[in-house]
Structure 1
Amino acid sequence: MASPSSYLIKTYRWSVYVLTLCILSACGTDHPIPFSPDSCSLDGAWEFRESTDSIWQPAAVPGDVITDLMNAGLRDSPYQQTNERLSAPLETKEWIYQTEFDLPNPLDASFELIFEGIDTYSTILLNDEILGETDNAHRAYRFPATNLRVGINTLQVRLHSAVVEGQQKLDASPWLIPVSNEDRPQGKQTSSVSRKAYYQFGWDWGPRLVSAGIWKSVSLVKTRSSAPQNMRLDLFELDEENATYHVRLDATDSLEWQLDGPSGSPVQYEMTPVHDSLWQLTIAAPQLWWPRDMGDQPLYTLRCSNTGGSQSLRFGIRFIEWIRERDDLGRSFACHVNGHKVFARGANIVPADFFPVRARERIEETLQQAIAGNMNMLRVWGGAVYGEDSFYDRCDELGLLVWQDFMFACCMVPGDSGYAASVEAEARHNVQRLRHHPSLAIWCGNNESEKAWKTWGWPNLYGLSSQDSVAVQRAYDSVFGALLPQIVAEESDQFYWASSPMKDPLHQKDHGISGDEHAWRVWFDTLDFDYYSDHGGRFASEYGLQSLPNRHTLEAVGIHAFDDEALQFRQRSKMEWLKPGLDGWGMMRIYAKRYAADPGVETGNADALDRWIYLTQLTQAEGLREALERHRFSRGKTSGS
């Protein structure tokens, strides 16, 4: 069900949308900006237009089509009233983004264009020549800039509709691909085939705004094939006297090393070559990294350089393992750091603004909220986006562990080779990018996809024949049972868990409980709060109840009364399987009547909106309190909540 770019802590409160000098002269800027001989940032002022329009509008890169339209005064905020409906026609349109830069002198080296993130389908042109195409918002792309010229160069990105492109892919599929949260007819649920944030196609906690954009940085960088790159550190041995790492690196020239300790000054170490791409690093008197409230978070920086360039990594010395041992209850599932068990206290998180380009401004706010809530772990939920580098950097510094989903949620996957290749590139990019962070505790393949396939009746719901069901299962296994664990093993020394929730594969023939659990039978099955003591699994990785937000939040988007259309329009949670017509309003009322009072009954002088706000928030708070206390006092049954 649930869950930095930047992220908003998600407790299932009712969400309201809520050696040549390069000189760049970007469209819309008055003064050329000088850059170093090695790289030029192309971020900043661009221009854009709909493909059928002739009028260019100012745009920002990194950015998003909808935010650019708002900034240009061409669209009101989709958060206001029922404006989300007005954004629907945008999802089938194509957009053109463009900038120009001036190279005053001939180049004496080759360069490449790096796009850190494009959402999602695009064609890239430099000086009217196609450099390449993109089909995945979750990865970076690099294109050789072979046709640069002296003088004005024009870079253009043609963004294709994710809905139109996705429909073509879905129509070509030999079977329907089940997905649960996109509220579209079967055969039109295109989120299942596109590598784009699932929540942007709509979820039970948020709007449907299928936008597009160049949502991360763009740069023109000198190609340096001999520079150190792809540095990787694997902890080999750790004791009180030494920490020993295996260091892997791609480089062709002789190397110089430097290790700075937590104070920023060089520390004692030994670097012993094993072969051309492998070294052994030994650090004397290591200072260990700990989760918050268990110790400090000292961080080291390893630098490597040669004539071609340099690379550095900041890391913390720690040993993480997930203990899965037989016990009286079944099989444990607990995170241990440096030999000590961690009781994980945390939340699932999604972007703090629907548009990740704006959400990154709230990274620090989000993490400080987690600290104020006495948390030590955050789960980056698989229906959103991988976090910004700065998110993980701050988690390292603050001692916040990260449960990292790959970006899949409540869905099955296509079985074609093109999709698999795109997923492989995405996974390698992100595992390589994040593997050095001491805060990263686990890689998880997906959110609820395995549970959905096994228990939500998808084969019958989607009319899949026995043969098609086998093919869908095979496609799922090829990604989550083979491809992703293989990449995690090849690119890191980290732990991989195929799906959340999931019973432990080691436990298939054992009695008792194992793995992690999404404790949603409170809420979706109307069970009492004592269920939090009785549910399966050894780690509660999701649970919660819905409530309304504060009046201030509602009024900020134009909602002033309970019967306002804008408020009723935002209710997306439906439980038709329990009772026809039952939705989030009915479910909030069931729990409020059970644990507080009926918000539908007029009492005192409070108006209906204030009554609903107070009673649903009170019920939610009581439910979360009971869940947290029951998990914490479970006598070893539950190791995370």
Structure 2
Amino acid sequence: MKTYLLLCSVWSAVNAINIKLSSSESVVWTFVNSNRSISGKADVPGGIYSDLQANYIIGNILAEDNDVLTRWVAHELWTYTAQFNVSKEVILNSSVVHLVFEGVDTAAFISVNDDTPIGSVNNMFVRYVFDIKDKLKEGLNELKVSFLSPISAAKVRSDKHFAAPECVPSVYNGECHVNQIRKMQASFSWDWGPAFPSVGIWRPVYIEAYNSAIIRSVTTHITKKKEEWVLNIKTYFETSMKKTQITGILSATLELEGKTTVKKWIPVYETSQTDGTFVVELEFKISEIQVRTWWPNGYGEQPLYELVVHFASDTYLNESSHKSLMVGFRTVELIEKDAAEILGNTTAGKGLTFYFTVNGHPLFMKGSNWIPSNILPELGERQTDVVDNLLKSARDAHMSMLRVWGGGVYESDYFYEKCDQLGILIWQDFLFACAMYPTDPEFINTVQEEIEQNVLRLQYHPSIAVWAGNNENEAALVGNWYDTTPEFEKYKNQYIKLYVETIKPIVQDLDPGRRYLVSSPSNGRESERENYVAHNPYDPHYGDTHYYNYLADNWNMMTYPKTRFASEYGFQSLPSLVTMKTATNNSEDFSLDSHYSVHRQHSPNGYSFIELQMNSRMKLQKDDPKYFEKFIFYSQISQAMAIKTETELYRQDQANWYTMGALYWQLNDVWQAPSWSSIEYTGRWKMLHYYAKDFFAPVLVSPRLDASGEMEVYLINDRFVPILEAKITIQFYNWSSPAPILTKQYPASCGPLTAALQPNIDGTLMGYKKEEIFVKFSLLATGIRSPVNYVFPVPLKRVTTLRKPNIEILVSNFVMRRHHQNLEYTVQIRVDTVVAFLWLETEVEGRFEENGLIVTEPQMIVKFLCKDHVSPRILEKSITTQYYLH
């Protein structure tokens, strides 16, 4: 099915009365527990953990083991109360007076001006609207939100509607039955994060007062017909007046190139449905020369155009409602067709392809997986600087796609708008992860509302490339992860009822142009053919895969299986000591067997797996006085090299298996702990993220050792034009000297948007002793930049010629300002021998452009970027170095 999408960001307004009930001078919120022993001033939008910290009732929740020590918070019953004033005109002069909650976390009763509830909420991902016209009074009013304990609410539902698993593994230090409630699944803990089962009003709350109807949502559907874009706009109206005639004028104004605009209007003469809603459509036809095409990061620009949809009431002449969307034009298609058409009658040619075309071009999707930017969802909404840093870091590492993982939240409008601007496509999971789920009527009803609202909210964004029903639940069911085999048919039926019979029709109705995948990983069309639960959801001939292997040698490309699209794969590392020190200042914590370190490692046998990977390639003595510090550093080397190796294989396999995506697990962190992330909780890049900037480069020379120990060299080209008349330079180095012992050049070429094995390169090691040498690869081509790359013939622990280097760091006095944003410092590095994995670190806030360097020259330059000026001498003295040496 072709996917033709209009890309947009949105804001809305209504010139009827809108009373914001967020915390302010005129609206004071307070919180209190059930026995009134704990109370304080609340910040709305917000949450109970944030409020308790702000009132100094609890300390830093991410310090030491406060995630467990503050767990009592989640067992309490909390009530939030606001007092606010309403004028008589609001009540008397408005036909509709609605109380609107954009997000309540999670189970609560709502009351206005007395203790009799006007309604309840049970889903943090749903917008709730209550008719309160008859509840308000002139002057002072009171709103109460009385929360249930999410832990208790989950247990009550589980007793009635149990679905496996009962609890997370004990090493998570988490809570049970999170699959029973529509709450951020990771808030009860995960293998990369702590449990903070918060409650609160995490998104805005306000009163809407009007007489006619308001625009609640706008969806856009676009098709390309020859030289013309056809834009269909659906406007979703809302009012509490049921079966009531609404009249007025709906108009749409679209900005085009050169600041010209086109406008269209239609009369509205609609009768609202029994739920008070109705939909109005209008259509534009736009010549392709009037707009420029939107492209993902690395493939072109991201032009956006303003679309304003406006409704003016005929009956109430001073009342109107409108939304403004920044739109862009592109097409996306997920291609699942006979693989033999591309790969011929071979083993690789069996099954179906699985790749995205954008604007008609097949693009290899490079990226990562996104978890919530904060374990407290309200802070994820507020901390736009954190979102900015993470998304810009993804862009700077040449990423074109992020997968918003199914155990988090539907992210803020700000998040998707930034993705629109940066050209980052989004694989959007619906929020079901690593569990079976109940399908009782109450659960199904709230899920229906959740899916409908969030598809309507997000549909127009360029960031949305594909919807997926869940994370790993098909694989979990087939693989008996939670001992479901004795009741397999029951769980299979529930699986189909939830993801196929409930979610799929809603998505296809509201967003027919986008592909809905029932699960990730899955075999795509093949899973559907097998009644949505495939015999082997990891079949490499279909769909996407998740792959983790902590036992094999992960610096060896021969380790990894084939796949059409790698949507998850990863390895753990520890965060830097600088980041750890934001969680503890106790020096006794900095050892692997300390209570702190054990508490932070949520992955079963996690440290053992890290150590196994390190020891397979490197040597670290247990009695080394800096063992813990080196363990951290070596874990980051190991992670970076493993993900580099696996990712480059997937990029090479464009040529061999038509692998067309690599999204490693995971981009970001929610606390200071061992995890699979490439960016630490503090925003610091791990070595992996520096390496991602290279292994995702648009043009890359990518070598590997085959099963016989000889080198194969691929040239990878993500550009729309071929690489012709290029040369690949191969240099052999002895580890003891920063000068090549042999240099050879070979002609190289590669077609557009593909990878090509270079056929005429001598892949032998020229008779050199493997324990003494390594090989460096670089590309020489006019107007093309490509990172250097390396082959290490033997594990580093077997290298016999490594020498301890003398390293001198000098910072130039000349400071530049780059792109009117960052200050750029020139850091000169001088060495007297080859340095393996040279790591530069400073507590000055900023980032080196390159790191984890294989230093092969006596002198080299690295840039340091930061926002605030620092003395070059202070920066120079602050820089410390680490490197591999055994």
Asked if Structure 1 and Structure 2 have the same fold, meaning a TM-score greater than 0.5 normalized by the shorter chain, the answer is yes
Match of 2:728 in 1: none
Match of 1:19 in 2: none
Q: CA deviation at 1:170?
A: 0.4
Match of 1:17 in 2: none
Instruction: Identify if the C-alpha distance between structure 1 residues 375 and 365 changes in structure 2 by more than 3 Å, giving closer, same or farther.
Output: same
Q: CA deviation at 1:533?
A: 6.8
Q: CA deviation at 1:131?
A: 1.7
Aligned counterpart for 2:494 among listed residues 468, 475, 478: 475
Aligned counterpart for 2:232 among listed residues 218, 228, 246: 246
Query: Do residues 320 (structure 1) and 332 (structure 2) align?
Result: yes
Q: CA deviation at 1:564?
A: 3.3
Q: CA deviation at 1:229?
A: 4.2
Match of 1:38 in 2: 17
Distance in 2 (CA, whole Å) between partners of 1:267 and 1:449 is 47
Match of 2:201 in 1: 214
Match of 2:850 in 1: none
Q: Is the 8 A contact 1:400 1:439 kept in 2?
A: yes
Instruction: Name the structure, 1 or 2, with higher relative contact order (CA <8 Å, separation 6+).
Output: 1
Describe the SS at the equivalent of 1:253. Answer: strand
**Cα displacement string for residues 445-486 of structure 1 (whole angstroms, at most 9, x for unaligned residues):** 11111101111343xx36x74xx4322211111111221111
The 5 A counterparts of 1:148-167 are: 148-167=136-155
**Cα displacement string for residues 394-449 of structure 1 (whole angstroms, at most 9, x for unaligned residues):** 11111110010001110111020110011111000100000011221000111111
**Cα displacement string for residues 264-314 of structure 1 (whole angstroms, at most 9, x for unaligned residues):** 934246678999733221112232111112111112232222224223333
Q: TM-score, normalised on structure 2?
A: 0.63
Q: Is the 8 A contact 2:553 2:616 kept in 1?
A: no
Distance in 2 (CA, whole Å) between partners of 1:262 and 1:51 is 57
Q: CA deviation at 1:613?
A: 0.6
Match of 2:8 in 1: none
The 5 A counterparts of 1:584-595 are: 584-595=606-617
Q: Is the 8 A contact 1:314 1:436 kept in 2?
A: no
Q: Is the 8 A contact 2:560 2:646 kept in 1?
A: no
Describe the SS at the equivalent of 1:326. Answer: coil
**Cα displacement string for residues 58-100 of structure 1 (whole angstroms, at most 9, x for unaligned residues):** 1101111111111111101221111222112222211000110
**Bigger mean CA offset, 272-281 vs 188-197:** 272-281
Match of 1:68 in 2: 51
Instruction: Identify if the C-alpha distance between structure 1 residues 224 and 594 changes in structure 2 by more than 3 Å, giving closer, same or farther.
Output: farther
Match of 1:123 in 2: 109
Query: Do residues 281 (structure 1) and 284 (structure 2) align?
Result: yes
Query: Do residues 485 (structure 1) and 473 (structure 2) align?
Result: no
Match of 2:415 in 1: 391
Name the structure with the higher strand share. 2
Matched residues, number: 586
Match of 2:78 in 1: 95
Instruction: Identify if the C-alpha distance between structure 1 residues 142 and 608 changes in structure 2 by more than 3 Å, giving closer, same or farther.
Output: same
Distance in 1 (CA, whole Å) between partners of 2:332 and 2:130 is 37
Q: TM-score, normalised on structure 1?
A: 0.86
Distance in 2 (CA, whole Å) between partners of 1:153 and 1:274 is 36
Distance in 2 (CA, whole Å) between partners of 1:274 and 1:334 is 42
The residue type paired with residue 416 of structure 1 is D
Q: Is the 8 A contact 1:247 1:279 kept in 2?
A: yes
**Cα displacement string for residues 18-40 of structure 1 (whole angstroms, at most 9, x for unaligned residues):** xxxxxxxxxxxxxxxxx985101
**Bigger mean CA offset, 111-120 vs 259-268:** 259-268
Distance in 1 (CA, whole Å) between partners of 2:474 and 2:165 is 12
Distance in 2 (CA, whole Å) between partners of 1:151 and 1:532 is 73
Q: CA deviation at 1:517?
A: 0.6
Instruction: Identify if the C-alpha distance between structure 1 residues 551 and 320 changes in structure 2 by more than 3 Å, giving closer, same or farther.
Output: same
Distance in 1 (CA, whole Å) between partners of 2:558 and 2:304 is 38
Match of 1:446 in 2: 470
Match of 2:188 in 1: 201
Query: Do residues 261 (structure 1) and 255 (structure 2) align?
Result: yes
Compare CA radii of gyration and give the structure with the larger one.
Answer: 2
Q: Is the 8 A contact 1:111 1:144 kept in 2?
A: yes
Instruction: Identify if the C-alpha distance between structure 1 residues 382 and 55 changes in structure 2 by more than 3 Å, giving closer, same or farther.
Output: closer
Match of 2:542 in 1: 514
Distance in 2 (CA, whole Å) between partners of 1:68 and 1:39 is 26
Q: Is the 8 A contact 1:180 1:410 kept in 2?
A: no
Distance in 2 (CA, whole Å) between partners of 1:220 and 1:283 is 38
Match of 1:354 in 2: 375
**Cα displacement string for residues 557-603 of structure 1 (whole angstroms, at most 9, x for unaligned residues):** 105321432122111111xxxxxxxx0111000000012224x6233
Distance in 2 (CA, whole Å) between partners of 1:445 and 1:476 is 10
Q: Is the 8 A contact 1:197 1:385 kept in 2?
A: yes
The residue type paired with residue 354 of structure 2 is F
Q: Is the 8 A contact 1:514 1:538 kept in 2?
A: yes
Q: CA deviation at 1:504?
A: 2.5
Match of 1:105 in 2: 88
The residue type paired with residue 545 of structure 1 is F
Q: Is the 8 A contact 2:247 2:267 kept in 1?
A: no
Gaps of 5+ in 1: 1-34, 575-582
Query: Do residues 413 (structure 1) and 437 (structure 2) align?
Result: yes
The residue type paired with residue 85 of structure 1 is V
Instruction: Identify if the C-alpha distance between structure 1 residues 512 and 404 changes in structure 2 by more than 3 Å, giving closer, same or farther.
Output: closer
**Cα displacement string for residues 595-618 of structure 1 (whole angstroms, at most 9, x for unaligned residues):** 2224x6233xx5222011111011
The residue type paired with residue 152 of structure 1 is L
Q: Is the 8 A contact 1:138 1:426 kept in 2?
A: yes
Query: Do residues 505 (structure 1) and 525 (structure 2) align?
Result: yes
Q: Is the 8 A contact 1:180 1:411 kept in 2?
A: no
Match of 2:394 in 1: 370
Distance in 2 (CA, whole Å) between partners of 1:452 and 1:621 is 28
Q: Is the 8 A contact 1:258 1:266 kept in 2?
A: no
Distance in 2 (CA, whole Å) between partners of 1:486 and 1:632 is 35
Query: Alignment identity in percent?
Result: 28
The residue type paired with residue 516 of structure 1 is D
Aligned counterpart for 1:602 among listed residues 595, 613, 623: 623
Match of 1:14 in 2: none
Distance in 1 (CA, whole Å) between partners of 2:62 and 2:213 is 49
Q: Is the 8 A contact 1:181 1:410 kept in 2?
A: no
Aligned counterpart for 1:382 among listed residues 406, 409, 413: 406
Instruction: Identify if the C-alpha distance between structure 1 residues 139 and 229 changes in structure 2 by more than 3 Å, giving closer, same or farther.
Output: closer
**Cα displacement string for residues 104-152 of structure 1 (whole angstroms, at most 9, x for unaligned residues):** 4342113111111111000011101422101111121111112110011
Match of 2:644 in 1: 625
Aligned counterpart for 1:236 among listed residues 223, 226, 232: 223
Distance in 2 (CA, whole Å) between partners of 1:288 and 1:195 is 38
The residue type paired with residue 125 of structure 1 is S
The 5 A counterparts of 1:561-572 are: 561-562=590-591, 563-572=593-602
Distance in 1 (CA, whole Å) between partners of 2:544 and 2:231 is 31
Match of 2:797 in 1: none
Query: Do residues 616 (structure 1) and 635 (structure 2) align?
Result: yes
Q: CA deviation at 1:358?
A: 1.6
Instruction: Identify if the C-alpha distance between structure 1 residues 117 and 229 changes in structure 2 by more than 3 Å, giving closer, same or farther.
Output: closer
**Bigger mean CA offset, 527-536 vs 319-328:** 527-536
Describe the SS at the equivalent of 1:368. Answer: helix
**Bigger mean CA offset, 385-394 vs 350-359:** 350-359
The residue type paired with residue 407 of structure 2 is G
Q: CA deviation at 1:343?
A: 1.0
The residue type paired with residue 607 of structure 1 is K
Q: Is the 8 A contact 1:183 1:202 kept in 2?
A: no
Instruction: Identify if the C-alpha distance between structure 1 residues 202 and 244 changes in structure 2 by more than 3 Å, giving closer, same or farther.
Output: same
The 5 A counterparts of 1:19-34 are: none
